[in-house]
Amino acid sequence: MDRLQKYILRNLSTLFLSIFLPLFAIASVIFLIKLAAYTAIIQLSIWEMTKLYLFVLPEILFYTLPITFFIAATLSLFKLSNDNEVIVLFALGIKPKFLVKTLFKPAFLLSIVLAFDFFILFPHSTVLSSNFVSYKKSEAKFNLAASEFGNSFGDWLLYIGGKKNDGTYSKVFLFNKKGKEEILISAKKAEIINDAGILRLKLTDGEGYSYSTKKLSQINFKTMMINNTLKTHLHPYRKPLEYWLAKDRHKNKVKMFITDTLLSLFPIISLFIVIAIGVVQVRHQKSRVYLYLFISIALYYGFTVGLQSILHFYTIPAVSLTWLIVTYFIYRKSIVNKF
């Protein structure tokens, strides 16, 4: 029995990889096109684009893995049916429940991985992605350009002599007027620092002048921080449970939680319909495996999304139990009663 299980799982893994890789590539291209839209607002290097892609990777995997398993499991059984190997198994006295037990292990492991993905990894990657984009947008607001007038840093007018390869600036002049007092600061070097979501300008080796109609003062400094800056709106990272229970974007999170929970359960509660579609008598039945695959996926996803506005959280037990009962009835009628 162990050899037989390994043989079936080997066929499953081969088909799984052959289906997963194209689906993963297509999903990655779609997400990369979406990420490319950010370049109209902010400047991103290749490494920064890679970081954003890594942030959405858990989402890509979550939406490709359950469909891949469902299709691969069905087609692997269909291939064994075409080769008459499943018929031989039943002729030797092996019951259809053996196929259920064989597929249950990978389906159960996949459901656990999917649940961990959306409940633990997704909040973390979402916060990181949102904060990264927010930081880059705030950084872009400064629009610092070398050898040009009109740069600004908060309330300060800014002139930059040049920009170095390490991202720092040279020959920097800042001017600020508050009432009757005017302040002029010059520095040999400056760099932008992100300090807990606040962008600060760090000046090195410079002089500062403050003058009005009554007095003139001067200071020399080694290091100076300009704190009057635009603040980056960063989302504090929460624990996964706190993220899901937080009030911000509550409606979207509820829909996401219901949908993702049902998608996590999809591999394990679809085993009966997988066997019902995949196991066929080639000589006596017309194969409509691809049509049945499409209908099954469309119905499950359709009920998952469509019933949320009516049943809310009750959508999870309603869809999962109904799907399990209906598919088991089909499995009993089309497989168990015949074999």
Last residue of a domain, which of 181, 197, 226?
226
Radius of gyration of the chain (CA): 30
Structure tokens at 179: 């009432």
**Alpha-carbon span 59 to 56, nearest angstrom:** 5
In sequence order, the β-bridge partners of residue 318 are: none
Last residue of a domain, which of 197, 226, 255?
226
- Judged against a pLDDT cut of 60, whether residue 150 lies above it is answered with no
Is residue 72 located within the same domain as residue 159?
no
Is residue 117 located within the same domain as residue 249?
yes
Looking at the domain assignment, is residue 150 inside a domain?
A: no
What is the rounded average pLDDT of the residues 23-34? Answer: 86
What is the rounded average pLDDT of the residues 15-43? Answer: 82
Looking at the domain assignment, is residue 290 inside a domain?
A: yes
Is residue 177 located within the same domain as residue 124?
no
Is residue 241 located within the same domain as residue 98?
yes
Residue 283 banded pLDDT, cuts 50, 70, 90? low
Mean pLDDT highest for which of 129-143, 179-193, 312-326? 312-326
Is residue 217 located within the same domain as residue 264?
no
What is the rounded average pLDDT of the residues 106-119? Answer: 93
Looking at the domain assignment, is residue 62 inside a domain?
A: yes
Helix ranges (DSSP H) in 270-314:
271-278, 289-306, 308-311
Is residue 134 located within the same domain as residue 250?
yes
* Domain interval for residue 208: 155-226
User: How many residues can be counted in the chain?
Assistant: 339
Q: What is the pLDDT of residues 287-323, one digit of tens each?
A: 688 899 999 999 999 999 999 988 889 999 999 999 9
Sign of CA dihedral 127, 130, 134, 135: positive
- Judged against a pLDDT cut of 50, whether residue 147 lies above it is answered with no
Flag whether the pTM goes above 0.85: no
Nearest in space to 218 (alpha carbons), one of 209, 226, 227:
209
Looking at the domain assignment, is residue 19 inside a domain?
A: yes
Residue 82 banded pLDDT, cuts 50, 70, 90? confident
Angle between helices 271-278 and 46-82 (to 10 degrees): 50
Looking at the domain assignment, is residue 147 inside a domain?
A: no
Is residue 177 located within the same domain as residue 130?
no
Is residue 100 located within the same domain as residue 169?
no
Give the chain's domain count.
2
- Judged against a pLDDT cut of 50, whether residue 2 lies above it is answered with yes
Q: What is the pLDDT of residues 223-281, one digit of tens each?
A: 888 765 455 555 666 677 777 877 777 788 888 899 999 999 999 999 999 999 988 87
Is residue 268 located within the same domain as residue 212?
no
Residue 39 banded pLDDT, cuts 50, 70, 90? low
Looking at the domain assignment, is residue 271 inside a domain?
A: yes
Is residue 121 located within the same domain as residue 256?
yes
Nearest in space to 110 (alpha carbons), one of 268, 260, 327, 261:
268
- Predicted local confidence at residue 264, as pLDDT: 94
Looking at the domain assignment, is residue 244 inside a domain?
A: yes
Is residue 212 located within the same domain as residue 249?
no
Element (H, E) at 242: helix 240-245
Last residue of a domain, which of 226, 248, 283?
226
Is residue 57 located within the same domain as residue 113?
yes
Give the residue, 38 or 280, on which the prediction is more confident. 280
- Predicted local confidence at residue 64, as pLDDT: 92
Looking at the domain assignment, is residue 146 inside a domain?
A: no
- Predicted local confidence at residue 282, as pLDDT: 64
